[in-house]
């Protein structure tokens, strides 16, 4: 599942391609929206909200209310933008949403492939799909203190492993498996250490670090947490199971958790991140 910086880049591409232009065609290839038509409406903006994308369109020519195309990439989804005549990089049968602006020969298309979620709803009702999310690490609503409060609110949340807690989009929005593993490594904390054991002070430092990591990577083509942008050198532990830790040389461990086929991976160094009590 994509991280918040990936979603931010997707929103930025869609915003640049579509905003301020009138849709000349739309095509929703999901059963519940098959007859929906946004042609004639101007695109106002596309904004990210955690791992969600909100493409807002103006009222229709007949005075219809403003609408929002809500999409979520889930595991395999991606948005591409193509100029007239460009060859698609994904097969047509995987297309879920097609938004077109302009006419030939200057037509531009935004194509959403394998999107995990596609909704069309009144813009005034966006909270029904994203209102549950915590502060967005890359959003204007970012509030570090509120994120820590949500992470530590109640005994059940405090008893969770910090790795699991960081993935909870209700607490803070934008962290996925990559940043979870990288944050725990850089912080020297085993991912199964409970939130209560980590404590609010260290948790606050982790949250601040998460913000810095995503901010520094949001406009990059290739994500890095090590500061090294060379291929194979960009991450500390994620995707490096059985390879030597970059700090101590101990083989990095990997664990799978969650139901198939959406199992999540956690990577850590057993020496740099000892389990609690060892």
Q: What are phi and psi of 170, to 5 degrees?
A: -75, -20
Nearest to 213 by CA among 255, 250, 184, 256: 184
The angle that helices 195-217 and 144-151 make with each other, rounded to 10 degrees, is: 140
User: Is 51 one of the catalytic residues?
Assistant: yes
In 3D space, the residue among 133, 128, 98, 127 whose CA is nearest the CA of residue 14 turns out to be 98
Q: Which of 2, 48, 135, 191 is catalytic?
A: 2
Active site residue 86: no
The one catalytic residue in 3, 126, 164, 192 is 3
- Measure CA 245 to chain center: 27
The residue from 98, 107, 158, 264 that is catalytic is: 264
DSSP string across the chain? ---HHHHHHHHHHHHHHHTTSBEEEEEE-SGGGTT---TTPBEEEEEEETTEEEEEEPPPTT-PPPEEEEEE-TTT-EEEEEETTPPPSS-GGGEEEEEEES-TTS-EEEEEES-SEEEEEEGGGTHHHHTT---BTTSTT--HHHHHHHHTSSHHHHTSBHHHHHT-TTTSBS--HHHHHHHHHHHT--TTSBHHHHHHHHHHHHHHHHHHHHHHHTT-SS--SSS--STT-S-SSTT-TTSBPTTT-PBPEEEEESSTTS-EEEEE-TTTSPPTT-
Q: Which of 9, 41, 49, 51 is catalytic?
A: 51
Residues acting as catalytic residues: 2-3, 51, 264
């Amino acid at each position: 599942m994509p991280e918040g910086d990936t979603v931010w880049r997707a929103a930025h591409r869609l915003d640049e391609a579509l905003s301020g232009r009138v849709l000349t065609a739309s095509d929703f290839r999901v059963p519940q929206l098959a007859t929906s038509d946004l042609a004639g409406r101007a695109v106002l903006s596309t904004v990210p909200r955690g791992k969600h994308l909100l493409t807002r369109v103006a009222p229709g020519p007949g005075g219809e209310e403003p609408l929002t195309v809500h999409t979520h990439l889930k595991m395999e989804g991606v948005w591409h933008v193509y100029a007239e005549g460009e060859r698609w990089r994904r097969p047509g049968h995987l297309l879920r949403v097609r938004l077109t602006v302009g006419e030939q020969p200057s037509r531009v298309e935004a194509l959403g492939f394998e999107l995990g979620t596609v909704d069309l709803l009144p813009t005034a009702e966006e909270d029904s799909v994203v209102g549950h999310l915590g502060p967005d690490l890359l959003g204007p609503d970012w509030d570090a203190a509120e994120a820590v409060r949500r992470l530590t609110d109640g005994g059940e949340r405090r008893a969770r492993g910090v790795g699991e807690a960081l993935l909870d989009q209700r607490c803070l929005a934008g962290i996925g498996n990559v940043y979870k593993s990288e944050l725990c490594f850089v912080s020297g904390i085993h991912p199964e250490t409970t939130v209560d054991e980590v404590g609010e002070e260290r948790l606050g430092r982790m949250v601040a670090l998460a913000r810095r990591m995503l901010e520094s990577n949001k406009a990059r083509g290739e994500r890095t947490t090590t500061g090294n942008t060379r291929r194979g050198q960009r991450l500390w532990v994620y995707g490096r199971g059985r390879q030597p830790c970059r700090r101590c040389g101990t083989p990095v461990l990997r664990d799978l958790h969650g139901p198939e086929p959406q199992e999540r991976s956690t990577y850590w160094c057993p020496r740099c991140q000892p389990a609690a009590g060892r």
